[in-house]
A = this chain, B = another copy of it.
């Protein structure tokens, strides 16, 4: 397939490199920022533009990986063409394309991407959607060329997947950051937590997380909970500790 990438951020970078390695032809990169556009174009060995009006109109596939808020503006400035238009956003319905083209869909790889960090795409679930069976089949073939897990999901389901990912990734990372801060306050090093962090993640490969829950909150060990809350100096952290413990305990009561 001849592909244009619209966007040159974390996801566009990793996806572009992966598609190239799988033999797809990335004919052009667009980014509003010249540095980003050039950086990715150089990595992939292709052309770039910073003007939406200069986007190549002959591609088979246009992948929009821009910020959700920017997508309507970008779409409004695209010239019509005959390619398939997809976005890679969790929380944007495919109906956003309706007024601009009749060949559209979504191609959402569920992962946290950084420009510089390689990831194994074969393990990443890719959620695809299109209003047209023919376009969906094209997306399925493309997705299967890079991943073993390709799932058809509606815009509604994709939004929920994104929401779940915010908990499983973004909020989880915040838990790591708070833990790091607490250790560093006492002259201890965050890296000492890595075996615990790894085991916590590994455990849920075997046990459902609701069966893997441990700690003072699920035992309702009020003595430790109060000691911990007392020793937190930051009011926001006190409140988070309390709300999370209460949530764990309430969930435990609901189930048992």
Contacts and interface: CB of A to CB of B under 8 A. Distances in A.
Contacts of A178: 164, 167
Stoichiometry (number of copies)? 2
B231 A160 contact: yes
A interface majority secondary structure = helix
Given A193-B110, A236-B247, A186 B157 contact: yes
A57 B174 CA distance: 48
Interface centre among A123, A149, A192 (most CB of B within 10 A): A192
B110 A196 contact: yes
Given A200-B173, A223-B68, A231 B185 contact: no
A256 to B, nearest CB: 14
Contact of A201 (B190, B201, B223): B201
A186 B112 contact: no
Interface in A225-250: 227-228, 231-232, 236-237, 239-241, 243-244, 246-248, 250
A188 B161 contact: yes
Of residues A110, A195, A212, A228, which shows the largest number of chain B Cβ atoms within 10 Å of its Cβ?
Answer: A195
A215 B237 CA distance: 20
Interface string A213-224: 111111101011
Interface in A36-64: none
Given A183-B161, A197-B201, A170 B215 contact: yes
Nearest to A228: B163
Nearest to A192: B125
A111 interface: yes
Given A196-B110, A228-B166, A160 B177 contact: no
Interface of A: 10, 67-69, 91, 110-112, 114, 117, 119-120, 123-125, 149, 151, 153, 156-157, 159-183, 185-188, 190, 192-201, 203-210, 212-219, 221, 223-224, 227-228, 231-232, 236-237, 239-241, 243-244, 246-248, 250-251
28 contacts: A67-B219, A68-B221, A68-B223, A110-B195, A119-B199, A123-B195, A151-B188, A157-B188, A160-B186, A163-B182, A164-B179, A164-B183, A165-B196, A167-B175, A167-B179, A169-B196, A169-B199, A169-B214, A170-B215, A172-B176, A173-B213, A174-B244, A176-B209, A177-B213, A181-B210, A190-B208, A190-B209, A200-B201
